[in-house]
Amino acid sequence: MSVYFFSKGKGGRENQDAIGHLVINDKVVVAVADGMGGAAGGAVASNEVIRYIFEELKKTDNVDYPNLIDGARSGLVSLSEKDGALQEMGTTLTLCEINGDICYFFHVGDSRVYHVRGGGLMTRTKDQSELQYLLDKKVIKKSQAANYSRRNILLSVLSPSHDYELEMGEFSLESGDRLLLITDGVYNILAKKELVELSLASEDPKVLSEAIALKIESEGAKDDYSCVIYQHP
């Protein structure tokens, strides 16, 4: 198995994204989080959630992920009680546990899991955003989505001041499959077709990681951007 990653702040500013990865016996856990709520609040939220989850994962093999994620959210509540300026902070969370040939995913917000197999790509998560809601309800068309002015409005995040909805699911992996866990700073720059082309051109997942980061930098990053790549053995 191979795991490679990058996480960079736009224009050298403080990065509000956070990533995590851990091998526990035969399981692999990877995650991305995209913070919001002002520069300080966003970085605090994403890093605290990732820190809590991966510290707790080291303590037990029997993981109840919904409870674990709720515990991470409780940590945000505690921080906001100590510092009122953090009351409106929040973060996305997209996490995968790979156990054997099954990937279990847990998702809040609009970071994404892309599942790449050869020349195909499947989006395994659904954005919990106002834009996605309007697309589902057919209020707007896909052709209008790129120009929708409120595309960054989220309906569910981990936050001290709001409830959240946890999406969960599982799917099978085959040898050579790749998982890309990405924040919106990646997919708002690179279309799925471009990511597939980069994957096909990169036999080594490390090379793919470097190629994605370089492509974003050459296109001009519009936000913090993070990606965790897992390749199934």
pLDDT digits (tens, 9 = 90+) for 73-115: 999 999 999 998 898 999 999 999 999 999 999 999 999 999 9
Domain that holds residue 32: 2-231
Considering the entire predicted model, what is its pTM? 0.95
List, for residues 125-151, the tens digit of each pLDDT value.
999 999 898 888 989 988 888 788 787
Domains identified in the chain, total number = 1
Where residue 135 sits, what CATH number does that domain have?
Answer: 3.60.40.10
Are 87 and 80 a contacting pair, CB within 8 Å?
yes
H or E stretch at 185: helix 184-187
- Contact between residue 80 and residue 89 where contact means Cβ atoms under 8 Å apart: yes
Q: Phi/psi of residue 108, each to 5°?
A: -135, 125
Residue 143: phi and psi, rounded to 5, are -65, -20
Which amino acid makes up residue 204?
A: D
